[in-house]
Chain A
């Protein structure tokens, strides 16, 4: 019996210790449950609030805006090369300067006033050219015109400066090409015309028949020499001094003109006119110097009177249209 009692004592002691631990665990368990019980409503409230907030953001369009913003960013990246962006960086100061000038209160006031006019566009009556002239009597319109002219002047000044810069660049290019010589392709720069055949320069142009080109000032080449007297291709004497009345008669016969006294008066008048002025008289001049009518001239010399008279009188071909 005594052994049982002595065995029981440590067992009881351990049970006692265990009960202390058990109660600790039970206590912890209870606390955790309490914690959850307390936390659950808070968490529920938090989630609900979060959903509500997101919903509000969505309704205000933040997400759509953000999405679009991303799209804009992408488009900018696609549309601009890194070089562009670099240049933009260089120009950013002048851009900001321009924007600052444009956003000055005075400028904005004018712009706002002008845009009011745009809003009332349907109330404005159409204006003709005379209406425009009338409108220029208005002081404000005059001021506006002066302003526009000033803006135009500055834009033009800028454009000119730009053109000068381009011209300088082109000049430099041309000069460089000149220095570099045949190594550069000059054809592309428009300095030299392409040659027809490489190596040989094109032959100078010569008329096929020099006598055919009998413009003023060009000596008429002899077309034929008959009995020692030279004639042009048109049948006029090359040298008026070689003429004699007999020769005149012979030429008249070839022209189917039978010479009478009237004819001789006109021929002498033509020769006198040529001696005085050095030019063969045309029909108008002949009517004046020989005191005959145009009709008489055509009757006496039916075919091309002035020319026929010049031939018979040994004079060059008359020039001019009349």
Chain B
């Protein structure tokens, strides 16, 4: 009768970028996995580390320069202030859709049992310690640890 919960499933999502348009898909996929009874963990590496960095998480932007889908010429998207404006507009649209903020999404993920990890190498590169990260990040691990965790999981790279 219930074919979805028959086999235990697991996804490992690698979030390597911190644009709003790059962070949300990773977080929503992880959340949808948990909602569907799939184990989920998210590995934040490189710029993706900004998504779980306390000082940056509320100020993520959306990249419009060099993005043909933004509908804006790159030369306009590159002007000072355009990125902030686009991020503001996108955040407003998300609020209208009652989409949780990135910080709320992290909170929801944590409560739903998804596991969040930071990348050790990226932490060193950006000179951050675990204190700089949001409390939802369970641990800072290496790429090798990530593979150990991802045994049997489907891996998604965003």
Contacts and interface: CB of A to CB of B under 8 A. Distances in A.
A322 B1 contact: no
B11 to A, nearest CB: 14
Q: How large is the interface on A (under 10, 10 to 19, 20 to 34, 35 or more residues)?
A: 20 to 34
B3 interface: yes
Interface stretch (B30-38, B53-61, B81-89, B126-134): B30-38
A134 interface: no
B111 A322 contact: no
Interface stretch (A104-112, A265-273, A304-312): A304-312
Contact of A304 (B3, B35, B100): B35
Given A298-B111, A298-B113, A321-B28, A254 B2 contact: yes
A254 B1 CA distance: 9
A305 B31 CA distance: 12
Interface stretch (A3-11, A174-182, A227-235): A227-235
A283 B31 CA distance: 10
Given A293-B111, A321-B32, A322-B99, A307 B37 contact: yes
A298 B37 CA distance: 10
B76 to A, nearest CB: 13
A235 B111 contact: no
A303 B37 contact: yes
B111 A304 contact: no
Interface in A272-289: 282-284
A294 B112 contact: yes
A224 interface: yes
Interface string A26-52: 000000000000000000000000000
A304 B36 contact: yes
A295 interface: yes
A255 interface: yes
A311 B37 CA distance: 14
A224 B35 contact: no
B1 A305 contact: no
A132 to B, nearest CB: 13
A117 B143 CA distance: 63
Contact of B37 (A234, A294, A304): A304
A231 B2 CA distance: 10
Contacts of A298: 34, 111-113
Contacts of A305: 35
A281 to B, nearest CB: 12
B77 to A, nearest CB: 16
B69 interface: no
Contacts of B99: 322
15 contacts: A224-B1, A234-B4, A235-B2, A254-B2, A255-B2, A284-B100, A293-B111, A294-B111, A298-B34, A303-B5, A304-B4, A307-B36, A307-B37, A321-B32, A322-B28
CB-CB nearest 3 A-B residue pairs: A304-B37, A303-B37, A294-B111
Given A234-B2, A293-B111, A311-B2, 18 more contacts: A223-B1, A233-B3, A235-B1, A235-B2, A255-B2, A282-B35, A294-B111, A295-B111, A295-B112, A298-B34, A298-B111, A303-B5, A303-B37, A307-B4, A307-B35, A307-B36, A307-B37, A322-B100
Interface of A: 223-224, 231, 233-235, 254-255, 282-284, 293-295, 298, 303-308, 311, 321-322
